[in-house]
Structure 1
């Protein structure tokens, strides 16, 4: 792979010299062409974006080069008569040389026909799914889902794509989990985004699927990665074509549920690369149906009562995300790259709910009341990266420095109005305006030294500085207006600083054995300052060290079978959402509050995996055990003072031991059909700490799973059809269960103009207007059964068009950069946005 980049660097140098010296040198003025088609030797499929370099026969200096098109074809024009050598390269394949290739004045064109390129044994060890455009790749340290090959995702957003990624599940609210664990760190192009740290689920809904190239799943991160995120890492790679010349594409979709568009432009010349990308997403107003049944039990039996509710919630969302990047290669050893990614989005919820209250022993107190919540939410910010890489003369020996500034801002405004209450002071009308700002500064250095063919050493250090500020202003009704409420209004400052250092040693042994061993040490320092004009609340501090070892043993049983045993340790730091001591009253009947005394979760995972590759089919099996201490969950209790409603408090509830197994595979039973599927099943067995056993109502061992199945059919005349289905079981907590989730979709696409233009139609849940999601919670003093019906059915039309002329790959795009796989998912960053009924807004 490194030879590939070096080769392309030489090609670019040759391209710059071509204008001065010409291609063929002296000789006759007649010119011709060398052409052919590059084909994978195993699958017999054409290989697009393979590199073809032209040399003098027996020479070492490249003259020119091209990349193959979508059908594997290449053409080298303006070739003067002579003897030449071709070098054909592709990542994961050894370079193939054809020497000589001769053209003459009488026969100026050399047509090579099909040229077979065979994968290397190393590539086979990585068990790459070839055949139908390599939708899934299984590598030593990660699983890669190539979303750009997913037909049914067109017209959707990042949440829709994540539904189909092996081992990944997404619930109705956009919460992402890997193997059932929501402590996932989501990166964009290998870097954290201030947008995702502020409001992950909302931002994922604003990223058009057409903007996503691939998604990487890292289940057992080595010590090189940050320790945060017990479930692992998701890395969303956007489409950034590293090719010479000018190129671009536009795509989009219009549907009954959502509309989106995306465009990108790329320009690479010699050692300079420039690119820009912008995408947007907008939904039509969507009305959901809600209902719930609740029973409340108090010390005074006369207060025992039940409450039923029915309502509607109407939401419209919009978002835009874009980036601009530039890179320059000073020479073959030094590269500088910078990029700025901007995002802006928002949603405006409006809900109306009717409540009926029934007392068990005193029917005279029965009553009904109504609640109207109106919200306005916006979020936005930017990520600015500067990355410098220095490569030494020894192949693979390099040093990199990276910096990043992530800035995000969230504004959450909502008004909650009640009518019909017997006691208006029970749930007074209120208005809340929240402004939150999150600044994150990261400084990182990484060093890689291939000592010899057996040993490779990697080491580095990182400093992450987080500064989060939020202001929450409450207002009470005063006549027809609202006045400032100093009792509930608050300001909150949260500072977190992380220092980290790591070292990883890779050992390549005989007979197909390899070892990846590492260690990481992190220090976390936290300082929080809650402020209220009326209450006296003390600041809080935390400081702890975490030692993170990692070990991976791999054995290549055959060129197509690999066995891997991995151990990893991860932590989940409680961040702002979980530490904020101020009560979140965005939903007065379902409040929440943070806990400044929370400790981090610590999980240890042992995983045994087996991969096999048979022609165009792949099978991956794994079994794992995860032990988690300090498990963080929200515990529900009744509101104090006999009020009707609940309050959720975050606690380190105890220990969880989980056993699991996963499978995914792809098979091509006939040439035109590919079937892919995955399933992950695991247990949930919580053991509450002594002081919380009285709050635990779920004490059994629970079986949970998520599954995915798809089929793609390649038809004549450039038609492609695909269908998929997703099923996730209900998720357990120590007090109940969260909703199960399923989705079904189908799509058809027609390609035109040598596949540069594509038009398609797709349908999601075509047979039902709404999808129902049920939640059950039980505590010693409270039971709840609730239903949420979301309008999921949609039909859409999609299109994509690529333009420009691509001539060659840019060799020096630095792969280093900031990679803060850090912080517990669900943290809403500065301001805790979310709006009424979402659990946000603090």
Structure 2
């Protein structure tokens, strides 16, 4: 586009996003510096904690107390080298309390913070073991902050000074083995895709929405955080991802709190998002709700170069696809809890989402019988639009039978997901001179779908004695899906249905499950034995093709966990579990879904579930250095197989079962406090995946490759309300099924600044700062000759502001572990 300036045509210049980012960064830095100058009355207290042998004592609890009434002002934990630092202390007189379970509590002070004396260094403080015994009195020990249980690691936040002044996200960042990047994306022992649960219920939020939720959850509303790398029989047998469960404590404070968020971003196009979260608590009732909205315009490109080999000739394809995507999405949730009395609570909750968008895809395919020679070409414009909605309802009850821990919970769930995608394909055939070679080929398809899920479950906990506990439960779920595929050709100036390519697919599934967990604690050893039984009934009906697949099977899923305390600083654990992954409902649908004229994918109604036997050996040193070695063997591995059809000269993706996968992995996680102001969190995972199947394209197939992932996060703390963070990752070349994925890497940068006692937070972030992220895929099969290059709008600059208001003490909404969790995860929604 041109403008007329002084009689001359001048191009309109786009704003340089690097300059925009640096300008905003400079303003935030100047504002921070100006703000720091006004805090003349803010001081700090620091020191170092030693054990009885004068060694550094990590993770000791250090509390800042008001000298007048001994109330807790704030708290922290000592670093790996035993040091601590309490910053941003207002004028006044204070005490320092240092406490570790099994050691005598130490009090220091009082210390005065004033304009004349802003800092105090207490030097070394040595702890002494508490050998005091009281006759005839049973001493109940306070739980340690970090507790490694038989099947999980627990961070006991309740009654800890760590909860004062921190959010849930802040506490997660201090948890062993947990990595939180600048965008709030969470990894557990180096593994992405962790399931985050609140009181046992998945959040179903994006990484960004989840980070906003955790930032608005106060630390003093949390009872504990559970890190579960190998889920027990209590959880659904589906899925192999780790779980982080945030358990909220019951709060008796009343009032209203909430948060509001707004953000903008710019990559190749602008983006925006916003959200509102509210919670109100009275004596008998708790009401909660939230709404989030996002608007995104992005760009992606896919280039495919391939050779179609037959016995008589070769055909070369060079395909370029540029795609502009527009998406609007909203999520909302609400509910009410009614506290009948101290032992019985009933609740109702609902959540839903709406996603709609449209894509403009331009495809150019060059075809020739020699490399870089064009005999003909196809120019295509393939726009599409989609809309997905979903609604879930949960009715729940929790009853505490006695004070010993005997309780029962009941959940009933219903959810419905409705979607539709409309795709248009306009193909023009050109000869080597760029002139029309034959009539245009125009077709379209529509894919309406409906999924309904009913589920119910009950869990019962019975403490046999102080050292032994039994957990049992039942669950039943019913799923109905209806998928249509309508294919139409544009002929004689009208749309005509192609009955040979149209199809309807119906799928019904019923899963009935029961489980039992037995926990036993010895002096230094803990053992948990679990067994889950799941009976599955399914029916897949391809109506048009008259194909019906009935399946009825019963599976047992045992689990064993053993934890051994070797000494004060050393622990080892051994675990085993059997898991299942069932196909998502769309993967079972056999209809052909076209990406363009020469690329498509289709489902497989005969796709079988995969089974995994997983073993894990872990070692922990001083709760900081964590080393894990894992091995798993998976049968009937569900895999996307990318192949070429030499007869049709096309490339396609299908869902198939490979025979086996043997996976070995070694994970090392080690957070380092380099200086008082510089912390480093590092994760390394080395792994070897070996895929085998006896028959693929008429030949035995095997692919295996040694690979590794490394990610690091460096945090520079300028002051308690301002930090700078950069993170980087490197993923080596690896194999998955029949495809090889080239190395991937990237660097992110971000800054955070809080104001008004951390009620306001401003975050400026740059994703993929140097625009290095891309994906290059080739085939692990020697007979397949293709290279797929994908790029997406990975470099995005974002500015986000969050404001939290109301009472900071109020408990967040009581969350429930709904009974349709694993079923809901198998519904694909949105593009």
TM-score, L = length of structure 2: 0.76
- What is the Cα deviation at residue 431 of structure 1? 0.9
Write out per-residue CA displacement over residues 330-373 of structure 1, whole angstroms, 9 at most, x where no aligned residue.
Answer: 1111111221111112332211111111125998x921111221
| 2:326 counterpart (316, 323, 345) | 316
C-alpha contact 2:198 2:815 (8 A) present in aligned 1: no
Residues 124 and 560 in structure 1, CA contact (< 8 A), matched pair in contact too = no
Aligned to 1:153: 183
What do you get for the CA RMSD once the two structures are aligned? 4.2
Task: For 1:363-442, list aligned pairs within 5 A.
Answer: 366-420=375-429, 428-442=441-455
| Mapped contact 1:47–1:72 kept (Cα < 8 A) | no
What's 2:752 paired with? 749
Equivalent residue number for residue 623 of structure 1: 629
Aligned match of 1:772 in 771, 774, 777?
774
Distance 1:216 1:269 in 2: 28
In structure 2, the CA distance between the partners of 1:144 and 1:668, relative to structure 1 (3 Å rule), is closer
Shift of 1:165: 4.7
Number of the residue aligned with 1:802? 804
Deviations 1:97-154 (A, max 9, x none): 99xxxxxxxxxxxxxxx9x999734734447599894334668xxx666x5xx6x216
Question: Partners of 2:190 and 2:439 in 1: how far apart?
Answer: 45
1:555 aligns with 2:564: yes
Question: How far apart, in 2, do the equivalents of 1:542 and 1:765 lie?
Answer: 46
Counterpart mapping for 1:321-332 below 5 A: 321-332=331-342
After TM superposition, give the deviation of residue 209 of structure 1 in Å.
Answer: 3.4
SS in 2 for 1:462: strand
Alignment CA distance shift 1:239-1:824 (3 Å): closer
Please state whether the residue corresponding to 2:587 is helix, strand or coil.
helix
* CA deviation string 1:685-730 (max 9, x = no partner): 11212x3374566x35301232221011221373211111122334
Following superposition, the deviation at residue 187 of structure 1 comes to 6.3
The 3-state SS of whatever aligns with 2:501 is: strand
DSSP 3-state at the match of 1:429: strand
- Cα distance change, pair 439–240 in 1 and its aligned pair in 2 (3 A): farther
- Provide the C-alpha distance between the structure 2 equivalents of 1:661 and 1:96, rounded to a whole number of angstroms: 39
Pairwise CA distance, 1:308 = 0.8
**Against the structure 1 CA distance between its residues 760 and 540, is the aligned structure 2 distance closer, same or farther, given a 3 Å change threshold?**
closer
User: Is the CA contact (8 Å cut-off) linking 2:306 and 2:785 kept in structure 1?
Assistant: yes
Q: Does 1:527 align with 2:539?
A: yes
Task: Tell me the equivalent position of 1:356.
Answer: 366
State the distance in 2 between where 1:406 and 1:815 align: 17
Matched, 1:294 2:323: no
Aligned partner of 1:736 in structure 2 is 739
* Cα distance in structure 2, aligned partners of 1:403 and 1:96: 48
**Structure 2 matches for 1:493-508, cutoff 5 A?**
493-508=506-521
1:325 to partner: Cα distance: 2.1
Distance 1:427 1:400, change over 3 A: farther
> Are positions 1:591 and 2:603 aligned together?
no
Distance 2:88 2:643 in 1: 66
1:538-564 C-alpha deviation (Å, 9 max, x unpaired): 222111111100000001223443211
Q: Which residue of 1 aligns with 2:488?
A: 475
Displacement of 1:479: 4.0
Q: Which residue of 2 aligns with 1:83?
A: none
Residue number among 753, 763, 766 corresponding to 1:763 in the alignment: 766
Q: Out of 143, 146, 152, which is 1:120 matched to?
A: 143
Cα displacement (A) at 1:819:
5.2
Offset from partner CA, 1:74-113 (integer Å, 9 cap, x none) = 9xxxxxxxxxxxxx9x9x9899999xxxxxxxxxxxxxxx
CA 1:123–1:291 in structure 2 vs 1: closer, same or farther (change >3 Å)? closer
Structure 1 residue 447 displacement after superposition: 0.4
Alpha-carbon separation, structure 1, partners of 2:73 and 2:330: 32
Residue 530 (structure 2) pairs with residue 518 (structure 1)? yes
Please name the residue that 1:692 is paired with: 696
From 701, 706, 713, give the equivalent of 1:703: 706
Q: Is the Cα contact below 8 Å between 1:719 and 1:749 reproduced in 2?
A: yes
TM-score of the superposition, structure 1-length normalised? 0.75
- Within a 5 Å distance, the mapping from 1:249-328 to structure 2 comes to 249-257=259-267, 258-283=271-296, 285-299=297-311, 301-302=312-313, 304-328=314-338
The answer to whether the 8 A contact 2:199-2:817 is kept is no
CA contact (8 A) 2:347 2:396 kept: yes
Q: Which moved more, 1:490-499 or 1:234-243?
A: 234-243
Cα 1:802–1:138 shift into 2, 3 Å: closer
Measured in 2, the distance between the counterparts of 1:400 and 1:40 equals: 46
**Could you say which residue in structure 2 is the equivalent of 1:817?**
817
The equivalent residue for 1:676 is: 681
Q: Identify if the C-alpha distance between structure 1 residues 40 and 484 changes in structure 2 by more than 3 Å, giving closer, same or farther.
A: farther
More deviation, 482-491/119-128: 119-128
Q: SS at the partner of 2:502?
A: strand
Using the alignment, how far apart are the partners of 1:523 and 1:287 within structure 2?
44
Equivalent position SS for 1:542: strand
Q: Is 1:489 matched up with 2:502?
A: yes
Give secondary structure in 2 for the equivalent of 1:331.
coil
CA distance in 2, matches of 1:273, 1:541: 45
Match of 1:664 among 659, 666, 669: 669
Structure of greater relative contact order (alpha carbons < 8 Å, 6+ residues apart): 1
Change (3 A) 1:822 1:361: closer
Q: Contact (CA 8 Å) 1:192, 1:819: kept in 2 or not?
A: no
Determine the structure 2 residue equivalent to 1:789.
Answer: 791
1:431-471 CA distances to partner (integer Å, 9 max, x unpaired)? 11111111111100000011101110000010011111122
Helix, strand or coil at the partner of 1:135:
helix
2:372 and 2:750 mapped to 1: Cα distance?
57
Question: Structure 1 residues 823 and 706, CA, compared in 2 at 3 Å: closer, same or farther?
Answer: farther
Q: Distance in 2 between matches of 1:750 and 1:238?
A: 28
Deviation at 1:589, TM superposition (A): 1.9
Aligned residues, how many?
A: 703
Whole-angstrom CA distance in 1 between matches of 2:226 and 2:387: 29
2:640 to 630, 634, 638: 634
Contact 1:495/1:526 (8 A) holds in 2 = yes
- Identify if the C-alpha distance between structure 1 residues 805 and 780 changes in structure 2 by more than 3 Å, giving closer, same or farther: closer
Is contact 1:207-1:320 (8 Å) kept? no
Classify the secondary structure of the residue corresponding to 1:775: strand
Shift of 1:580: 1.6
Residue of structure 1 equivalent to 2:465: 452
Question: In 2, Cα distance between the equivalents of 1:238 and 1:349?
Answer: 41
Q: Mark the CA change 1:241 to 1:340 in structure 2 (over 3 Å): closer, same or farther.
A: farther
Could you list the runs of 5+ residues in structure 2 that have no partner in the other structure?
Answer: 1-44, 50-57, 77-85, 90-96, 107-121, 131-140, 218-224
- Relative distance call for 1:544 and 1:404 in structure 2 (3 A) is same
- Confirm or deny: 8 A CA contact 1:246 1:804 kept in the other structure: yes
Taking structure 1 as reference, are residues 263 and 818 closer, same or farther at Cα in structure 2, changes over 3 Å only? Answer: same
> Deviations 1:713-758 (Å, cap 9, x if unpaired)?
2213732111111223344134221354323111222222122222
Contact 2:502 2:591 in 1 (8 A): no
Please say if 1:714 is aligned against 2:736: no
CA contact (8 A) 1:612 1:620 kept: yes
Q: How many angstroms apart in 2 are the aligned matches of 1:186 and 1:537?
A: 41
TM-fit CA distance, 1:774: 0.7
